[in-house]
Chains A and B, each alone.
Chain A
């Protein structure tokens, strides 16, 4: 998009949306939309408070742990599925089911099995993220150019060498792509988990603000959350593009 001969940066229209928000807020049309400036004032007010820091650390901990398990389990399982036909045929139907199933329905089960605490939230997060990571790692391994594999064999690479020096790197662009989508899903999972279990983290904070009609606080936390989620997704997209240069040339 260009205006007056100047190329406008991609996300710059958000400034206009912010301006619209401010106008709607100033006009006092609805109680639910306070002016953006007021939301930001609240944002800086609450960002250092113990309540907020506690919610953030709790959420971050659950998120990081959830993503950690999803990656540590997901990538090897995916690579294994890509290499072994039997494992693939046994697991693929289930992975395909869970990648698109309404996983929210499983949260009540986690609650009765693992209690109303952190464990359930971490498992929810992992469940949201892991399936797409598995599928992408599998796809990455399956698309490896046969001649690369044959090259490794012709130079006498051991299976371990072939694995660490060829398969992992050749599948890396797809693996990272899966991790990126998985992490975005994990952000949604950790919030959904907290909303349903609703004793810890941002879930508790949202309940608190909503029940006390603190709209400024509510939007402020929402903006921080959305900004964090968006930054994480953009950062991973950037990493993915860094390795994508050789994805095209394999």
Chain B
């Protein structure tokens, strides 16, 4: 068995063990043990509660991330390719990236109500800036000599874009998408906790209100687990898809 796996397991045992002990003392009436929480997790997983909740939670998340990816990559390409649109649009996204956009939620609720639209919007404003900025940056940073190589072989603008710029930029675009998904999860959970409790947010809020803390912790555990597993999957995919893509230049 390899060392890294042993340490990962050891690390998990330490943290979950501390959780268990903390719950047994207990350090707070609202701090259930690890085993109680896992029991609630298993119960909700098997009776379909979690399944129904995620069918609800994933709706704004998937929609929002899809819209952000489509618009974000489009905008990013445009900004990265044209100095004029960069000057015009990039300040908006730079400010959005730095600003706490969550503050817009009360406004979105006023404008679009408490339904799906508002939640999709929340996911979009969280996920889009990083996708746009990563795409634009990646396009701008296409190695100059690759573009010159294309020109010297008489490639037209379309060929340079499709055969050189986009393939060269795709690893960074993809990691922008991954960061966007991560921000989208934050947005989706925030929307469910802040706007109206639905899906996983509903389990969290409801079990808190009836002091069913194991269920509450289990729901939180499940959303973090889901996000981490999905993001890890994306990262693995990224490594497979773009293996060696960032290497192969003189500078290594």
A196 to B106, CA, bound (A): 11
Instruction: Determine whether the beta carbon of A210 is less than 8 Å from that of B231.
Output: no
Binds B, one of A76-84, A87-95, A153-161, A169-177: A87-95
Instruction: Determine whether the beta carbon of B186 is less than 8 Å from that of A229.
Output: no
User: Is B78's CB within 8 Å of the partner chain A?
Assistant: no
Binds B, one of A41-49, A100-108, A135-143: A100-108
What residues on A are CB-neighbors of B67 within 8 Å? none
| Min C-beta distance of B252 to chain A, whole Å | 14
A102 to B193, CA, bound (A): 12
How many chain A residues touch B (CB < 8 A): the figure is 53
Look across to chain B and name the residue whose beta carbon is closest to the beta carbon of A16.
B88
What residues on B are CB-neighbors of A11 within 8 Å? 91, 94
A94 to B194, CA, bound (A): 27
User: Is A61's CB within 8 Å of the partner chain B?
Assistant: no
- Interface of A, helix, strand, loop or mixed by DSSP: helix
What residues on A are CB-neighbors of B223 within 8 Å? 102, 105
Instruction: Given A94-B11, A104-B186, A184-B98, check contact A195 B194 (CB 8 Å).
Output: yes
Q: 1/0 per residue B184-228: CB within 8 Å of A?
A: 011011100110000010001100100001001100100110011
Instruction: Given A32-B107, A226-B99, A229-B98, check contact A102 B188 (CB 8 Å).
Output: yes
Instruction: Determine whether the beta carbon of A89 is less than 8 Å from that of B11.
Output: yes
Q: 1/0 per residue A170-207: CB within 8 Å of B?
A: 00000000000000100110111001100000100011
Q: 1/0 per residue B8-29: CB within 8 Å of A?
A: 1011101100000000000010
Instruction: Determine whether the beta carbon of A229 is less than 8 Å from that of B100.
Output: yes
Instruction: Given A102-B224, A230-B98, check contact A202 B189 (CB 8 Å).
Output: no
Instruction: Determine whether the beta carbon of B100 is less than 8 Å from that of A188.
Output: yes
A28 to B4, CA, bound (A): 62
Instruction: Determine whether the beta carbon of A93 is less than 8 Å from that of B8.
Output: yes
> Chain B: interface residue count, which band?
35 or more
A229 to B96, CA, bound (A): 10
Instruction: Determine whether the beta carbon of A191 is less than 8 Å from that of B7.
Output: no
Instruction: Given A32-B110, A90-B7, check contact A102 B103 (CB 8 Å).
Output: no
Look across to chain A and name the residue whose beta carbon is closest to the beta carbon of B191.
A104
User: Is B144's CB within 8 Å of the partner chain A?
Assistant: no
A117 to B189, CA, bound (A): 21
User: Is A113's CB within 8 Å of the partner chain B?
Assistant: yes
What residues on A are CB-neighbors of B89 within 8 Å? 13
Instruction: Determine whether the beta carbon of B205 is less than 8 Å from that of A108.
Output: yes
Instruction: Determine whether the beta carbon of A101 is less than 8 Å from that of B216.
Output: no
User: Is A17's CB within 8 Å of the partner chain B?
Assistant: yes
Instruction: Determine whether the beta carbon of B189 is less than 8 Å from that of A104.
Output: yes
A104 in complex: contacting residue of B91, B190, B213, CB < 8 Å: B190
User: Is A72's CB within 8 Å of the partner chain B?
Assistant: no
Instruction: Determine whether the beta carbon of A230 is less than 8 Å from that of B30.
Output: no
Look across to chain B and name the residue whose beta carbon is closest to the beta carbon of A15.
B91
Binds A, one of B46-54, B69-77, B79-87: B79-87
User: Is A29's CB within 8 Å of the partner chain B?
Assistant: no
What residues on A are CB-neighbors of B179 within 8 Å? 100
User: Is A239's CB within 8 Å of the partner chain B?
Assistant: no
Instruction: Determine whether the beta carbon of A1 is less than 8 Å from that of B87.
Output: yes
Instruction: Given A107-B193, A190-B100, A191-B103, check contact A100 B231 (CB 8 Å).
Output: yes
A17 to B92, CA, bound (A): 9
Instruction: Determine whether the beta carbon of A104 is less than 8 Å from that of B227.
Output: no
| Min C-beta distance of B199 to chain A, whole Å | 12
What residues on A are CB-neighbors of B105 within 8 Å? 195
Instruction: Determine whether the beta carbon of A103 is less than 8 Å from that of B103.
Output: no
A9 to B101, CA, bound (A): 25
Instruction: Determine whether the beta carbon of B204 is less than 8 Å from that of A112.
Output: no
User: Is B111's CB within 8 Å of the partner chain A?
Assistant: yes
Tell me the chain A residues, 211-250 only, with Cβ under 8 Å from chain B: 213, 218, 222, 225-226, 229-230, 232-234
Tell me the chain B residues, 25-45 only, with Cβ under 8 Å from chain A: 28, 30-31
What residues on A are CB-neighbors of B216 within 8 Å? 108-109, 112
| Min C-beta distance of B65 to chain A, whole Å | 13
Tell me the chain A residues, 1-36 only, with Cβ under 8 Å from chain B: 1, 8, 10-14, 16-17, 32
A90 to B10, CA, bound (A): 7
Instruction: Determine whether the beta carbon of A1 is less than 8 Å from that of B8.
Output: no
Q: What are 20 of the A-B contact pairs (CB < 8 Å)? A: A10-B91, A14-B92, A16-B88, A17-B92, A101-B228, A104-B193, A105-B204, A106-B220, A108-B216, A112-B30, A191-B103, A192-B100, A192-B190, A206-B106, A210-B107, A210-B110, A218-B106, A225-B99, A226-B95, A226-B99
List of 9 A-B pairs having minimum Cβ-Cβ separation, nearest first: A1-B87, A191-B100, A210-B106, A89-B7, A102-B185, A112-B30, A233-B98, A226-B99, A100-B182
